[in-house]
Structure formats: C-alpha cells, structure tokens
Amino acid sequence: MPLPAPLDALLLPEAYPHPAPDIRLIETHISWVILAGDFVYKLRRPVSLGFVDFRDLERRRQDCLDEVRLNRRGCAGLYLGVVPVSRDGTRIRLGGSGEVLDYAVQMRRLPEERVLARMLEMHQVSFDMLGQLAWKIVRFHAAAEGGPAVRAIGGYATMVANWQRNLDECRPCVGRSLSTEQFERIQAFASGFADRHRALFLQREEEGRIREGHGDLRADAVCFADLAPDGICIFDCLEFDARLRCSDTGLDLAFLAMDLEQRGERETADILQSLYTAAAADSTLPLVSAFYRCYRATIRGKVAAIRAAQPGVTAEQRTAAAAESSRHFALAVRYTRPNLAPALVLVMGLSGSGKSLLAGALAHRVGAALLSTDIVRKELAGLPPVRRAAVAVGAELYDRDMTARVYGRMTERAEMLLAQGHAVILDGTFLTRELRAPVLELAQRSRVPLFVVECQAPDEVVRQRQQQRATQPWTASDATLAVYLDQQQRREPPLEVPAAVRLELDTTRRLAANLDLLEEILAASAGSGTAQRPGH
C-alpha cells in the first residue's frame, strides 16, 4: 500500500533542514516514526480506532503539543518541540512557511542500544540499573499532578469504565487471538475483583495514589542515556486521553512489569516491583498488582490485534502481530488467579540477608499486602521512607522503645488487613522470640495460616550487599555491617514456630527459584486448607 504523499516525501534527505543520511520509517497502529540523522520525527496517522481519533489536522497538532509537554516530565532534553510539515510549491519538507499538511514532534535520537528492551535482549541490565529505574519512577510519580482534578478524572469510577471499554474493544478479537473461554475468564475476573475490592481502591485514592502518570510505560519507552540528569529517560507517554493517563500509580508499574514478563523477563519484573514498592512505601500495591497487569496485558493484546488487521501490513507483520496478541491475552488469563487467602507470612533474617527483596517480590507474586519494619520505622519518626538515618547500633531510631513501637504498629496493621480479607507479608529482622510472639498470637487469634521464611546468606555476601547499599538511594534500610554483626549476637532462631510452617531459604539462589518454591508452598497450603497454625 503506497504511503501518503507527505510521508513519502519525508523519506528523502532533502526534506530536512539538517543532515539525514540514514532515514528509517517505523509504523505503529497510530503513528509514523521517522529516524533521520540525529533526530526523530513522530506523526499521527489520520485514523479513528475507537479509543483515538486523529482524522482532524487540528486534533493532530494539539496532540503533538500535548506529547511534548507531558513527556518533558520524564526526559526534558529529549523533546525539542512541534514542527509543521509544509508544502512550498512542489516541495514537501519539515518546517518552512508554506501550506501546512501535518505536524510532527521533533526529538533527539536516543542510542538504540541503551533502550531497556534492547539491553534486556543483550543481557546488559544489572540489579543497580533496575534500582535506579524504580527510583526514577517513584520520583516521577511523586512529582506528577495528583490534585482533586486528577483524582476526579482517574479514580475508581474511571478505572471501572476503562476496564469495561477495554473489554468491549477486545470482543472483536474473540475467535482470532482470543478464545471465548479466555475472554469470559478475564471479564469475570475484572468485574469481580473491582466489585470486591472497591474499598481498597478508594483507600488508595485517599492515600494520593491517583496521579497524572505515564500511561504506556513499556521497556521500549525507557532509555539509559544522559539526556536526563539522572541518566534515565522515560518517554513516549500516553498523551491522547487523560482518562488513560490519570490513574493509580500502580498501573504504570504494572504496565512495565507485564511487558517485562511477556518478554520472558519474569525475574526482572519481580525485582523491579519489589524495589518500587519499598521505595514508594506502597503497602497495598501488591494487592492490586495482578489486576492491573491483567488490564495492561489485555490492552496490548487488543493493540496487537488492531495492528494485525490494518491495511498495508505485510503478511509477515500480520503473523507477528497476531502471535503477539495471542501471547498477551494468554498472559492476561494467567493474571486472573485470585490473591492469596488471608494468611500471615513472616519473612525474617539479619540485615543484608535479602529478606526485603524477597518479601516485596513474593507479595506481588501471590497478591498480599506488604508491611516493612524499615518503612514503619521511618514513618513513626516522621521521615521519608528512603531517608537515611545514620545512627549508632541500638540508639535513637533503633533503641528498644522505638523497636517495640515499630513491631507493635506492624502487628496492628496486619490485623486490620487480615480483617479486610487480605493476606499479609511482614518484612523485618524479627530477631527474638519476644518480637515474633505477637505475630504468632495474631495468627492464632485471627485463625489464619502462618508461614515463616528465614532468609540466610554467607557473611561475605552480606558484607558485599552492605557495601553496595550505601550507594543505593532507593533502599529504606539504614543497616550497616556493624548492625549486622550485632544482630548475629542477639539472634534467636525461630524454633518456637512449628517446623511444618518454617523454611530456611538461601538467598544466594536465584530470586525466581526461591519465589517459585514459595509460591508452590503457599498455594498448596491455601488449597488444602490444612496449613498449621501456631499451637495447633
């Protein structure tokens, strides 16, 4: 299918006011992206797809302006502005003073080899890079608009309406990349979860979790480049509909986590979700995590199906898009598994044992609230969750009285969450029988299963982790090597916990392997209904 005249002309070097030796066109379902020398130009396709309508020139111009304004939040140095596509006589070019045929967003060209999607393919993404990315997203959300107007646009009612609209738009996919059984399962899960957890969603609104976020955060919208002061560019946000951009911050994280999983990077998603949840001090995010990832997977399944059906697509592109659609819908079905039934999971261990990373990732895997002593301690002290508080061992924030308050507050919150029907994961050292006793009593009093995971690692590994922690701004822990050595002396093994519900875990193993094991154990425990409780 021939390209429209303005676009066809932009594939020639003479259309540009700068050298353009290597012009390349990338097509999506709603855009044309042209790589031209050191710059990138993005034009809207004049299409109407239900969720977007770009048939009007003025609408395309405004959308270009919105894209520049909104994306400068995540990478100010990338977006240069909006330029007209004009015709002077018989010549079509970018800029100029002739008849305006269209508009394009002008951007600097990012190094493709530093885009997260490409770096994952090359196995070049480190733990610290994921930590930096999680911290970037946390700060992006903290700075984003979140007032009454945003909340009115993106609250619970809009979320439910978006889900329903998305399902309606997925119906044409049934019988192609989506089976009837899959569609009905996703539909039942979406409506049931939203209804059952309405109070939870409203609570998250009250906590200020509704923000004008990114809306389309995938691995190919992240680049580790120096166009941003912190070395990470987040770009290509969803600009054309505020109802899809203004939402729970968890939806942004869910989009990226889902995208990582469909790329075969489940452990990377586990790490990112755990680090973000701790840095954002978002204890209930794991409760809505699978629900949000299911939503994002259905969106990508629908988008790929639209692409497969568009005219002008080659047979190879059509086949690839159809396969991508099926893959996303299958992933959405996997997310429809219910959250873990009410239970207490205590993840304990010395500082540097890897317990916090494991606890956060496990919370997202099974759908449990996450309570961390590090975060509760900072909250009680009136400090941000990741503010470092360098103190002597056992002093100030870590003296006996403050520690008792922290563990007392943790137990109170756990009891509230259990009463609301949620499972709870507790993340802390829980060094002594005295600190563990209230948790065991709560499990018995609430008549919920208890499982205790004791994280362990060799001294040399802990020492290395403690050294690395000093350079990681996204962690809430203040523990040093001196703290670790003191904890070794005071540690009391959890022998009061029945052996059937206690597990020692070596965190030098791959995180994914440990999570798979724990998922299996907790699923079997919940499924049998016979999990032991303290004193039983």
- What lies within 8 Å, CB to CB, of 464 at 6+ separation is none
Q: What's the confidence (pLDDT) of residue 397?
A: 64
140/192 same-domain check: yes
| CATH code of 165's domain | 3.90.1200
C-alpha 303 chain-centroid distance: 20
- How many other CB atoms sit within 10 Å of the CB of residue 263? 18
153/24 same-domain check: no
Question: Does residue 101 contact residue 92 with C-beta atoms inside 8 Å?
Answer: yes
Residue 420 inside a domain? The answer is yes
Q: Which residues of 60-79 are buried (b: 16+ CB within 10 A; e: fewer)?
A: bbebbebbbebbebbbeebb
Domain residue limits at 15? 5-109
Give the number of residues written for the chain.
536
| CATH code of 485's domain | 3.40.50.300
End-of-domain residue from the set 309, 334, 359: 334
Q: How far is CA 104 from CA 39, 97, 146, 259, 382, in A?
A: 12, 15, 29, 27, 47
Q: What's the confidence (pLDDT) of residue 402?
A: 86
Residue 209 inside a domain? The answer is yes
Q: Which pLDDT tens digit goes with each residue over 252-303?
A: 999 999 999 999 999 999 999 999 999 999 999 999 999 999 999 999 999 9
Residue 260 inside a domain? The answer is yes
Tokens 């990470």 sit on residue? 232
Give the bridge partners for 36, in sequence order: 39
Tokens 């699978």 sit on residue? 290
Axis-axis angle for helices 285-309, 249-262 (nearest 10): 60
Q: What's the confidence (pLDDT) of residue 487?
A: 83
97/41 same-domain check: yes
178/37 same-domain check: no
92/125 same-domain check: no
Q: What percent of the chain shows pLDDT beyond 70? A: 94
Residue 370 inside a domain? The answer is yes
Residue 348 inside a domain? The answer is yes
Q: What is the pTM of this model?
A: 0.92
142/70 same-domain check: no
User: How far is Cα 491 from Cα 175, in angstroms, rounded to an integer?
Assistant: 59
Question: Token pair for residue 497?
Answer: 């916990």
SS3 of residue 103 by DSSP: strand
C-alpha 191 chain-centroid distance: 22
Question: Token pair for residue 32?
Answer: 């044309």
Q: Which pLDDT tens digit goes with each residue over 295-338?
A: 999 999 999 999 899 888 899 999 999 999 999 999 999 999 99
Question: Does residue 16 contact residue 85 with C-beta atoms inside 8 Å?
Answer: no
End-of-domain residue from the set 58, 78, 109: 109
75/136 same-domain check: no
231/123 same-domain check: yes
Residue 533 inside a domain? The answer is no
**Taking the chain (536 residues) in consecutive chunks of 10 residues, what is each chunk's mean pLDDT?**
72 94 89 95 90 92 96 94 91 88 95 97 96 96 96 95 95 96 98 97 97 96 92 95 94 97 98 96 97 98 92 90 97 97 96 94 98 91 68 60 92 97 97 96 96 95 82 70 80 94 96 97 68 38
End-of-domain residue from the set 315, 334, 353: 334
**Sheet strands (E) in 38-96:** 39-44, 79-88, 91-94
Q: What's the confidence (pLDDT) of residue 197?
A: 97
For the chain, the domain total comes to 3
- How many other CB atoms sit within 10 Å of the CB of residue 520? 10
Q: What's the confidence (pLDDT) of residue 37?
A: 94
150/214 same-domain check: yes
96/153 same-domain check: no
Which sign does the torsion angle of CA 524, 530, 534, 536 carry?
negative
Question: Does residue 424 contact residue 344 with C-beta atoms inside 8 Å?
Answer: yes
Residue 339 inside a domain? The answer is no
Residue 535 inside a domain? The answer is no
Question: Does residue 260 contact residue 225 with C-beta atoms inside 8 Å?
Answer: no
Nearest CA-CA partner of 349 in 460, 484, 450, 481? 484
71/165 same-domain check: no
Q: What's the confidence (pLDDT) of residue 329?
A: 98
297/443 same-domain check: no
Question: Does residue 247 contact residue 180 with C-beta atoms inside 8 Å?
Answer: no
